[in-house]
Chain A
Amino acid sequence: MAGKCHTAGTVGLVYGNDFGTDQAADQQAPAPDGQAFAALLADEGRVEPRDDMPEAYRKSLVRQIAQHAHSEIIGMQPEGNWISRAPSLRRKAILMAKVQDEAGHGLYLYAAAETLGVDRADLVDQLHTGRQKYSSIFNYPTLTWADVGAIGWLVDGAAITNQVPLCRCSYGPYARAMVRVCKEESFHQRQGFEILYTLSHGTPEQRAMAQDAVNRYWWPSLMMFGPPDDDSPNSSQSMAWGIKRFSNDELRQRFVDMTVPQSEALGLTLPDPDLRWNEERGHYDYGTIDFTELFEVIKGNGPCNAERMAHKRGAYDAGAWVREAADAYAEKQARRAATAESVA
């Protein structure tokens, strides 16, 4: 789809790149000068599919949206892990609905990415071959039922903190997808909190299970916001483009401030001895994050990287015959319809 030269009314052109550098020279088309794009950004307007946009903006968005989508899909695994073992039917139903939502979020996001003139099959291929990544948090195992609660409370909480500003990002389809995602995500966080609340107010074994899960998920959740601002060279460009609205550290602080009171309501402690309210700053101080763990996990050395990819690729490969059959049937039906028409 990218690189086609369109004229108004030509069929098949909802998406694509009207201003790509590989355009054939077209004297009638005004050369894009980036003014419209700059004006849109200045006006807090929305860039829509096929609008003039810097190639780097397009590429950056494709990567970000795709990796966001991949995260939702891979995220189905650690939680899906506990569907068969959920300790009550109500919890089983809730968890199935939550993981189903995650598939849905992945689909909304792939749909948004495709508006930039890429094919979902290519994005999936990039995930499978490691050229595109997904959120590192999903490379951690869900060892106990309480982990499901911790993921809902902390990981989805961090995701929401990240995602709410994205509802106002400069690219229309991404912003709209995020609005839909955010509406559904708040149930996710509540169900996680509720799981942990029930555990922390339950038997001693349940309380211990909940505390253990929080101990293992706290620091990785903080790392979800990315490296410190000083180590994030791409952030300022992302902000200038209206994709990123707040810095990594700002969002991380927001998450900490929101979560500490919730931990108190849960009666669970966060595993950071340096965590304390700072009256002067009006925020919680927290301990130094050891980012080497994050970089190791991103590189592929996390606890579950190999399993997550094997599961994903395995499902994809196992389903190839099904996808091919559906295509073959569609083609047969099209031929039958054409034959029927010509005979009629």
Chain B
Amino acid sequence: MTTKDWPLWEVFVRARRGLSHVHSGSLHAPDAEMALRNARDLYTRRGEGVSIWVVKASDIAASTPDERDPFFDPAADKIYRHPTFYEVPEGVEHL
């Protein structure tokens, strides 16, 4: 007998002020309120977090793996986006 599980939620935790939320893992919960509380118990027991986001896994849009469907700009040929591309004369500061 398999009963239906509660929905899957992805958990994002901000470890401390100044950092952004980082994906920590997932858990099952019946709704957002319980998901938030479960995430607090599961992922911040050792003081690892000051802020938690939970999102239903089914609400997340994800890019496809690169081999299947090239999604990311093959940026190797646009090196002019990087500062190291540019020559700065000796002695010129703040550039």
| Interface of A toward B, CB cutoff 8 Å | 6-15, 18-19, 28-30, 32, 36, 48, 50-52, 100, 104, 107-108, 111-112, 114, 119-122, 125, 177, 180, 184, 320, 323-324, 326-327, 329-330, 333
Q: Apart from A8-B69, A9-B63, A327-B6, what 11 extra A-B contacts exist at CB < 8 Å?
A: A6-B64, A9-B61, A11-B58, A12-B61, A51-B65, A104-B42, A107-B25, A120-B5, A121-B4, A324-B3, A327-B4
**Would A326 and B30 count as touching, CB distance under 8 A?**
yes
Given A121-B5, A323-B6, does the pair A18, B65 have CB atoms closer than 8 Å? yes
Residue in A12, A18, A329 whose beta carbon sits within 8 Å of that of B60 in the complex: A12
The distance from the CB of A47 to the nearest CB of chain B, in whole angstroms, is 10
Decide: A50 and B60 in contact? CB cutoff 8 A: no
What's the Cα separation between A18 and B59 when bound, in Å?
Answer: 18
Most buried by B among A14, A125, A320, A330: A14
Given A30-B68, A51-B65, A51-B67, residue A14 in contact with residue B5 (CB < 8 A): no
Residues in A neighbouring B26, C-beta threshold 8 A: 111, 114
Please tell me if the beta carbons of B57 and A12 are within 8 angstroms of each other in the complex: yes
B64 contacts across to A, CB distance below 8 A: 6-8, 18, 50
A-B contact count, CB below 8 Å? 94
Q: List 15 A-B contacts (CB under 8 A).
A: A7-B64, A13-B62, A14-B57, A14-B62, A29-B69, A30-B68, A32-B68, A52-B67, A52-B68, A107-B42, A120-B28, A121-B5, A324-B3, A330-B30, A333-B31
Q: Cα distance A329–B31 when bound, in Å?
A: 9
- When C-beta atoms are compared, the residue in chain A nearest to B56 turns out to be A12
- Given the complex of chains A and B, what is the CA–CA distance between A323 and B1 in angstroms? 15
How many angstroms between the C-alpha atoms of A12 and B69 in the bound complex? Answer: 17
* Complex Cα spacing A329 to B32, Å: 12
User: For A100, what are the chain B residues with a Cβ–Cβ distance below 8 Å?
Assistant: 45
- Measured between beta carbons, the chain A residues less than 8 angstroms from B57 are 12, 14-15
Interface range on chain B (Cβ under 8 Å from partner): 20 to 34
Main secondary structure of the interface of B (DSSP, over half): loop
Most chain A beta-carbon neighbours within 10 Å: one of B4, B5, B10, B59: B5
Q: Please report the C-alpha to C-alpha distance between residue A45 and residue B65 in the assembled complex, in whole angstroms.
A: 15
Q: Tell me how far the C-beta of A168 lies from the nearest C-beta in chain B, rounded to whole angstroms.
A: 19
Shortest CB–CB separation between residue A186 and chain B, in angstroms? 12
Contacts of B2 in A (CB 8 A): 121-122, 125
Contact B42 A36 (CB under 8 A): no
- B5-35 vs A, CB cutoff 8 Å, 1 = contact: the mask equals 1101010000000000000011110110010
A249 to B67, CA, bound (A): 38
Please measure, in the bound complex, the distance between the C-alpha atom of A51 and the C-alpha atom of B62, giving whole angstroms: 12
Q: Inside 8 A of A111's CB, which chain B residues have their CB?
A: 25-27
Q: Could you give, for residues 31-74 of chain B, a 1 whenever the CB lies within 8 Å of some chain A CB and a 0 otherwise?
A: 10010000000100110000000000111111111111101000
Contact A12 B59 (CB under 8 A): yes
The answer, among B5, B30, B60, for a CB contact under 8 Å with A11, is B60
